[in-house]
Amino acid sequence: MSFGISTLPYGVFSTAPDGRDRRVGVAYGDAVLDLAAAAEQLRLPAAGAFAEESLNRFLAHGPAVWREVRDRITDALTSHQPRLPLLPRDRVRLHLPFTVADYVDFYSSLHHAENAGRIFRPDEPPLTPNWKHMPIGYHGRSGTVVVSGTPIVRPAGQRRSRSGSPAFGPTRRLDIEAELGFVVGVPSTLGQPVPLASFGEHVFGAVLVNDWSARDIQAWEARPLGPFLAKSFATSISPWVVPLDALQHARIAPPAREPAPLPYLDDAGAEPWGLDITMEIRLNGHVVSRPPFATMYWTPAQQLAHLTVNGAALRTGDLYASGTVSGPERDQVGSLLELTWGGREPIVLPDGAERTFLEDGDEVAITASAPGPGGERIDFGEVRGRVIPCPSPAPP
Amino acid sequence: MSFGISTLPYGVFSTAPDGRDRRVGVAYGDAVLDLAAAAEQLRLPAAGAFAEESLNRFLAHGPAVWREVRDRITDALTSHQPRLPLLPRDRVRLHLPFTVADYVDFYSSLHHAENAGRIFRPDEPPLTPNWKHMPIGYHGRSGTVVVSGTPIVRPAGQRRSRSGSPAFGPTRRLDIEAELGFVVGVPSTLGQPVPLASFGEHVFGAVLVNDWSARDIQAWEARPLGPFLAKSFATSISPWVVPLDALQHARIAPPAREPAPLPYLDDAGAEPWGLDITMEIRLNGHVVSRPPFATMYWTPAQQLAHLTVNGAALRTGDLYASGTVSGPERDQVGSLLELTWGGREPIVLPDGAERTFLEDGDEVAITASAPGPGGERIDFGEVRGRVIPCPSPAPP
């Protein structure tokens, strides 16, 4: 993965074996520009923020600083300024790029919501009556958001069994959810909603998200208060945060909405935040789906307006994910649940292996790209994770 | 409220007008013992942790340090050691006592779950089939956990209307939930469940919680992913964290459970963590309910074992709340939803005022106490909040 000059995503890296020398860097080509080392040479504003172990201090500075830093880095890289502290990317270790404050997961793909409804609640209409009136969401566990590459321990838990009493053991339906996540930089005040138009004043950028899910645990636990342990064991994110400024060429009109959203969600008169991003999911190296983010019913700007309409405050480091990205076609869905229709229709990989849900040792990688200026592609890097067995025996 | 020698709860206070001189203190009688100032004199271990703006650093030290500090403070106060830095409590300002990492809310009162089920889902059995097999819970918003006394802005949101399309505006059904919250001190490792017996190695103590809830928003949004904006606008906690060591005399056997819990939740052979704590809810100064924590079906130790059975890691500052505490009688319930049976049976206050849900200007205070050694009561202080109007007009 070689990042172009129009992407310039931010991350946290280290070079020492113990990982203690973490600092902020920007990816370019096959290299990392060490911003802690370059801050003085490039006369970066907010220079102290780049020697930190997370992006949070930089994120809190807001759009004017974000833009000035990006401009200076672009200038330095395109003017081939000498002696820039560029390190080969394969020599650095990447870490969780920011400290996650609150983590919210939305459910904003119409196709995913309809598919999940049909699979989980076959006797009811696939969409609940609220779905087309609001971006449905819930809070997840921010303490188990991990960086790409972190092994995913198969979780144990309760699942339905034929006896009426639940069974207990390692999940048999370990799944993925391919999503995009949005990272809040500038906090807001408790009691004051953030309107649709202020999206760019608060949100810094986007990451890839794999919201690992245990479908059997979820099916048993989620009534009446929603998913809990089925999701809280791990959520993986990509190490490089792509700034919104890199996504301006990817902005498109979202799908038509019927009925019209309430005023606080109505983006008909505003510049829209639909995004033409194509994602790719690889299972053990084989592409199994290409979810199109352009089909998302609710945009990240609408999600932010909804999240705060009750006065909930934002903090630097808040992460909210789009929900599983699924297009209308079977090869465009963002979960194995949909790809195998609830486990009833296994997929066959090119090497002949069949899968419904994930087996121990399986590795999933999600990538994405979007149009940039002058035909360049904006790349998100990847979020990758390998499943390792549940420690056995289960705890007493 | 005068705290006895067997309580000694921890909080964070300041004396400067700008609140910048925050530090850790312990409440005793009508005073606060300034631990930052007393650390050297009392030869406290972890002395540096008391000059912090939150309890987190102290909490991370673990049970041996927690106990040694408590012992030394008890000795100093009972030996009437001279020149202790004791400040009158009415001269200090109290702050959020710890930085909340993840916030989880459980749903562990059988009476509350049955009442809520009957009110919200009258056509279905009141308990979902999973309820007696696990402490049902969900993640809440840690960024909107506020300290007692913080004004509660009435949230706006969507609610069902007769037209089929939702209405939007300030909630008409603003409610409380009286709960107890448990505060994690010692973190755990991702992928490694925390067994029932390790409760006391991780959890430091307890606070009072008022989980403010907008019932009309909740009823419309909560299918299929659970409560979201109905809860995320504010959760109030008491400023004083009562150590588990102060609750040893309050430990009792929890109610009998049928069916028997799965092994990871089975506390039949262990010393139980039922707690004989009586709570009191005051609305505008009048006691409206006395919820008995002793009736809770699932204990905080079981909640912790469940929360981590999928390998989810704990962090210092994690807060998990019991769920609304409701006893079997109408004057023992922990919410107005139950007290007024979904708003159909208003309560009448001694001054003749009627209430179903909260009006602007209403103030709710929750207190609690438990048996201590030698007939002393262990007090939790209080969690208090007043409702202020929704800013109008609603945002565009």
Residue from A61, A10, A60 nearest A36 by CA = A10
Q: Stretch B46-72: mean pLDDT, rounded?
A: 97
Residue in A128, A166, A313 nearest the CB of B133 = A166
**Under 8 Å between Cβ of A303 and A105:** no
The residue-averaged pLDDT of B34-53 equals 96
Residue A222's Cα: distance from chain center in Å?
Answer: 22
Label residue A126 by pLDDT band (50, 70, 90): very high
Mean pLDDT, residues B48-70 taken together: 98
Contact B307 A222 (CB under 8 A): no
Instruction: Write the pLDDT tens digit of every residue in B349-389.
Output: 999 999 999 999 999 999 999 999 999 999 999 999 999 99
Residue A271 has what pLDDT?
86
Q: Are residues B224 and A136, on separate chains, in Cβ contact within 8 Å?
A: yes
Please give the pLDDT value at position A120.
87
Contact of B5 with B77, CB cutoff 8 Å: yes
| For residue B393, pLDDT beyond 60 | no
Q: What is the pLDDT of residues A223-235, one digit of tens each?
A: 999 999 999 999 9
Note if B139 is an active site residue.
no
pLDDT at B1 over 80: no
Q: Note the pLDDT of residue A393.
A: 57
> Residue A396: pLDDT above 50?
no
**pLDDT over threshold 70, residue B300:** yes
Residue B394 has pLDDT above 60, yes or no: no
pLDDT band at residue B80 using 50, 70 and 90 as cut-offs: confident
Neighbours of B80 (CB within 10 A): 7
Q: Which residues of A touch B137 (CB under 8 A)?
A: 225, 228
Residues of A in contact with B118 (CB under 8 A): none
Catalytic residue among B61, B80, B111, B112: B112
Residue type, B146: V
Task: Tell which of B133, B198, B228 to mutate to test the A interface (max A CBs under 10 Å).
Answer: B228
Mean pLDDT of A320-332: 98
Nearest CA in chain B to A387: B191
Average pLDDT over residues B89-118: 97
At residue B253, the 3 state secondary structure works out as coil
Mean per-residue pLDDT, B220-242: 97
**DSSP helix/strand/coil, B156:** strand
Q: Which DSSP category does A99 fall into?
A: -
A117 contact residues in B (CB cutoff 8 A): 224
Weakest-pLDDT range from A122-126, A219-223, B390-394: B390-394
Catalytic residues of A: 112
CA angle at residue A171 from A167 to A175, to 5 degrees?
Answer: 145
Q: Do B168 and A262 touch (CB under 8 A)?
A: yes
| pLDDT at residue B396, rounded to an integer | 47
Gap between the Cα atoms of A223 and B133, Å rounded: 13
Q: HEC states along B29-91?
A: ECEEEEHHHHCCCCCCCCHHHHHCCCCHHHHCCCHHHHHHHHHHHHHHHHCCCCCCCEEEHHH
Please tell me which residue of chain B has the smallest CA distance to A214. Answer: B310
- Determine whether the interchain pair A224/B136 forms a contact, defined as Cβ–Cβ distance below 8 Å: yes
Count contacts between A and B (CB, < 8 Å): 201
Is the CB of B166 less than 8 angstroms away from the CB of A133? yes
Query: How high is the pLDDT of residue A374?
Result: 92
Q: What is the average per-residue pLDDT within A84-89?
A: 97
A309 and B228: CB-CB below 8 Å?
A: no
Give me the half-sphere count of Cα atoms (radius 13 Å) on the Cβ side of residue A247.
Answer: 28
Mean pLDDT, all residues of chain A: 96
Q: What average pLDDT is seen over chain B?
A: 96
Judged by CB atoms closer than 8 Å, whether chains meet at A136 and B221 is answered as: yes
Q: Which of A97, A102, A99, A41 is nearest to A72 (CA)?
A: A41
Query: CB distance A128–B165 less than 8 Å?
Result: no
d(CA A7, CA A381): 10
Q: How confident is the model at residue B336 (pLDDT cuts 50, 70, 90)?
A: very high
Distances (CA, A) of A48 to A22, A40, A45, A87, A100: 13, 10, 8, 20, 20
Q: What is the mean pLDDT of residues B287-295?
A: 98
Contact across the interface for B229 and A309, Cβ inside 8 Å: yes
pLDDT given at position A82? 83
User: What proportion of chain A, given as a percentage, has pLDDT over 90?
Assistant: 95
Number of continuous H segments (helices) and E segments (strands) in chain A = 8, 26
The pLDDT score that the predictor gives to residue A277 is 98
> pLDDT (tens digit, 9 = 90+) per residue, B135-164?
999 999 999 999 999 999 999 999 999 888
Residue B65 burial (C-beta neighbours within 10 Å; 0-12, 13-18, 19+): middle
pLDDT score, position A269:
81
Which of A139, A146, A312 is opposite residue B233, by nearest beta carbon? A312
Q: Nearest CA of chain A to the CA of B191: how many Å?
A: 6
* Residue of A121, A155, A191 lying closest to B311 (CB–CB): A155
User: Residue B295 pLDDT > 60, yes or no?
Assistant: yes
Given this model, what pLDDT does residue B269 score?
Answer: 81
The whole-number average pLDDT for the span A135-156 is 98
- Element holding A10 (H helix, E strand): strand A10-14
pLDDT score of B285 more than 80? yes
Tell me the shortest Cα–Cα distance from A30 to chain B, in angstroms. 31
- Residue B308 burial (CB count, 10 A): 25
Residue A93, helix vs strand vs coil? strand
Query: Could you give the percent of chain B with pLDDT greater than 70?
Result: 99
Name chain B contacts of A135, Cβ cutoff 8 Å: none
- Provide the shortest C-alpha distance from residue A75 to chain B (in Å): 38
Q: Please tell me whether the interface predicted TM-score (ipTM) of this complex is above 0.90.
A: yes
Burial class (CB in 10 A: 0-12, 13-18, 19+), B351: exposed
Cβ-contact B33, B115 below 8 angstroms: no
pLDDT at B172 over 60: yes
Q: Which residues of chain B lie closer than 8 angstroms to A228, CB-CB?
A: 136-139
